[in-house]
Amino acid sequence: MSAAGELRPAVTAADYRLGTPTWCPGCGDYGVLRALQKAAAELQLVPEQTVVVGGIGCSGKLAYYFRAYAFHGVHGRALPLATGIKLANPRLTVLVAGGDGDGYGIGLGHLLHAMRRDVDLTYIVMDNHIYGLTKGQYSATSRKGFRTRSSPAGSTEEPVHPLELALAAGCGFVAQGFAGDPDQLSRILVSAIRHPGFALVNVLSPCVTFNHEDTYDHWQNALVNLGAADGVDPDGRPTWDRWGALQRVAAAQELVRGVIYQRPVDSQATPCAKAGQVAGDGRDSDLYPAQRPGRGLTLDEQEEYLARFAG
Ligand SMILES: Cc1ncc(C[n+]2csc(CCOP(=O)(O)OP(=O)(O)O)c2C)c(N)n1
Ligand code: SF4
Ligand SMILES: [Mg+2]
């Protein structure tokens, strides 16, 4: 039993560490994990009220290394699993982590429907433009002409452009980060997790073992930094202009980082997007305390909250 009003100790980024990652030394996914741990500490996410659904791939293993509940399903099916989890218990913070093959190849159909349904999920795609886990086949985001073990003469296909796709599909929050800048990425993730609806965060995350073209140096030099992480562009204007965002992203051939588009929160109307907020009596007091900005979680609150789900 806790004394009334006793504060649960503040959680730090290190508290979200779990196990020892087995990624290759230098893999971009380490930077993504670090950024997520930092964002979780900033938001004071409660591990027992947080779920990470991992895709199949090197990237999907992130779910094993982050202290929260984890669910590892089948290739390309992370989003329907996460949708079910969120709708079954809207108060959970549900994160999805996977790769470009998982999300933009085999699972692309699910992505379109998740964006359309606008369920309150944060989807982190570790986009290395290759299949890492299966040892270096070209993926849906590999550039045309890219030579791999499965495309020795160069890929003949046009790549998927995830940011343009998401903007055209009506996604309410679209951002791109870079694994080489975990600090900016963590700020993007804070905004994405706070966004009440589906948020896509594409992260350019180098595969140092199988992709020797899309390297840290390449992306560091090529990416234009929008600087935005809070739904405002570098000039302080809200990033609410979907078609302007689409033009800017297309003109830059997707080589931008920052928050690219965020729909005004007040215009969120879909039941799924609101589910995490209006379940119960819909008052702010009904939100899980950790979801309220600047708020710690008392032990009493935790017990009271968890009791709602008992039995
Ligand atoms: C249905 C099915 N098809 C194929 C595979 C083999 N497979 C496992 S991971 C993967 C691709 C991984 O690439 P990506 O999603 O980009 O993740 P990365 O390893 O690059 O992080 C494939 C094709 C599988 N596990 N299941
Ligand atoms: S194969 Fe590539 S994506 Fe997989 S752990 Fe190694 S560097 Fe990372
Ligand atoms: Mg990949």
Q: Which two tokens stand for residue 126?
A: 């570790």
> Does the predicted model carry a pTM greater than 0.85?
yes
Task: Indicate if the alpha-carbon torsion angle 271, 192, 203, 22 is positive or negative.
Answer: negative
Phi, psi dihedral angles at 118 (to 5 degrees):
60, 40
Region of 97 on the Ramachandran plot (φ > 0 left; ψ -120 to 50 alpha; else beta): beta
Lining residues, ligand 2, CB within 6 Å: 23-24, 27, 29, 58, 128, 132-133, 207-210
Burial 171-195 (b: 16+ CB within 10 A, else e): bbbbbbbbbbbbebbbbbbbbbbbb
Atom 24, ligand 1: which residue's CA is nearest?
A: 75
**Ligand 1 center–CA 59 separation, angstroms:** 10
* 99 CA: nearest ligand 1 atom: 15
What's the pLDDT score for residue 294? 36
Amino acid at 125: V
Atom 5, ligand 1: which residue's CA is nearest?
A: 75
Nearest to 198 by CA among 305, 113, 137: 113
Average pLDDT over all residues of the chain: 86
What's the pLDDT score for residue 296? 42
What's the pLDDT score for residue 231? 64
What's the pLDDT score for residue 162? 98
CA–CA gap between residue 105 and residue 155 (Å, rounded): 14
Ligand nearest to the CA of 104: 1
Which residue pairs, CB below 8 angstroms and at least 24 apart, start in 262-265? Answer: 262/172, 262/173, 262/174, 262/191, 262/195, 262/231, 262/238, 263/172, 263/173, 263/197, 264/238, 264/240, 265/195, 265/196
Ligand nearest to the CA of 216: 2
Q: What is the CA radius of gyration of the chain?
A: 19
- Do the Cβ atoms of 221 and 204 come closer than 8 Å? no
- Do the Cβ atoms of 131 and 140 come closer than 8 Å? no
What's the pLDDT score for residue 238? 67
pLDDT single digits (tens) 110-120: 999 999 999 99
Mean pLDDT by 10 residues, the chain (311 residues): 55 94 98 98 93 98 97 97 92 96 98 94 98 98 97 97 97 96 95 93 98 98 83 66 90 93 66 40 40 47 57 48
Domains for the chain: give ranges and CATH numbers: 13-307 (3.40.50.970)
Residue whose CB lies within 8 A of the most ligand 1 atoms, among 61, 74, 102, 205, for a mutation test: 102
What's the pLDDT score for residue 90? 87
- Do the Cβ atoms of 133 and 57 come closer than 8 Å? yes
Protein residues with C-beta less than 5 angstroms from the ion ligand 3: 99-101, 128
- Do the Cβ atoms of 118 and 270 come closer than 8 Å? yes
Amino acid at 289: P
What's the pLDDT score for residue 284? 40
Beta strand spans in 230-296 (E) = 256-262
